[in-house]
Amino acid sequence: MTTSKIWRTIPQYYNLIGNKCQDCNSLYFPKREVCLKCGNFEMEDFKFEGDGKIITFTIIRNASRDPQKQPVDRAARAVPYVLAIIELEEGPMLTAEIVDCDLDEIGIGKKVELVFRKIREIGDRGIIQYGYKFKIENG
């Protein structure tokens, strides 16, 4: 199995998949083995729509890097970038990067929507890892 095929078979990287308690219907992201509300072990997959709002955020202006890496990693993250706590419409909260907007557009309570973007390249062979990020909703 090729590396790219392995990545495509992991639903959490290409969908916002969490789970739902079959007893009390509580929703979780990331997945849980047991319901935190009722203790039930019967959980089923749940695909979140990807709409939500910003609860809080921070603007990272100086990217950290591994001091052991010599020279500086050429794939170092560009700054500034925004990390936010997103509350999904279905309830769970997660941390994600906000992309495709000016910094002055970002604010608490702003509506956001799920997008998939390149996260990083692995090694010199160009293996690309994708994942979820969010952008400000239009209109």
Q: Which has more confidence, 62 or 13?
A: 62
Residues 97 and 124 in one domain: yes
- Write down the pTM of the prediction: 0.78
Residues 41, 6, single domain; the answer is yes
**Do residues 124 and 58 share a domain?**
yes
Is pLDDT above 70 for 61? yes
Q: Are residues 69 and 103 in the same domain?
A: yes
Shared domain for 69 and 40, answered yes or no, is no
Q: Are residues 80 and 133 in the same domain?
A: yes
Domain span including residue 26: 1-47
CA distance readout (Å), 53 to 41, 73, 103: 30, 33, 16
Same domain, 69 and 128: yes
Report the domain count for the chain.
2
Confidence of residue 10 (pLDDT cuts 50, 70, 90): low
Q: What is 23-40 written as a DSSP string?
A: TT--EESS--SS-TTT--
- What is the pLDDT averaged over residues 46-61? 95
Which CATH number does the domain housing residue 71 bear? 2.40.50.840
